[in-house]
A and B are shown apart, each in its own frame.
Chain A
Amino acid sequence: NAGVTQTPKFQVLKTGQSMTLQCAQDMNHNSMYWYRQDPGMGLRLIYYSASEGTTDKGEVPNGYNVSRLNKREFSLRLESAAPSQTSVYFCASRAGTRGSDEQFFGPGTRLTVL
């Protein structure tokens, strides 16, 4: 099992460029999440998908869009990147059947917007 995988690992963009961060899980989990992590800010939830076919906004959704392509894949799109979106992005998944289910995290994507 690969668990949660994210691509790319690193990315540098210029202001105004667009890109899609990819995430996939092979654990047959129902729920998937996108977070950003900034120094001193902890983890902030951008969007989540409680189950295939549904997506909802988290704390900081502005400037992002998501797609739950199928049960395995959940992508995050930046339509017009801004320097404020420089961050480390983590995807996570959760079985989503019981409250005691833990989240499994990917290795992260380090994004720099110039």
Chain B
Amino acid sequence: AQSVTQLGSHVSVSEGALVLLRCNYSSSVPPYLFWYVQYPNQGLQLLLKYTSAATLVKGINGFEAEFKKSETSFHLTKPSAHMSDAAEYFCAVAPTAYSSASKIIFGSGTRLSIRP
């Protein structure tokens, strides 16, 4: 069964500092991977997704993630944090062998706080 683990339920960085949110997946074959963001009192929205076309994936709002098969990781980064990045971030995995019963599995989330 596939799963994702997000290391750190809460990450706090200073405005302008590097943002690094960690995600490791468990899968027998490289899966599809997603990062979602949830701003306060809103639903989740897609930041970016990995579909095997390129290992470095760029998303919205200056975020990017790198797929590393050897480390089974898909960490999310942003070079310079902005106050508006404060939100909860979810890593998610889906099997590449698609069937009608295939589901996206979500991690437990990481809350990102930005210090002025």
Contacts and interface: CB of A to CB of B under 8 A. Distances in A.
- Chain B: interface residue count, which band? 20 to 34
Given A40-B9, A43-B90, A99 B43 contact: no
B84 interface: no
Contacts of A107: 42-43
Given A40-B9, A105-B44, A108-B42, A45 B103 contact: yes
A106 interface: yes
B97 interface: yes
Interface stretch (B17-25, B70-78, B104-112): B104-112
A34 interface: no
Nearest to A105: B43
Interface stretch (A65-73, A76-84, A90-98): A90-98
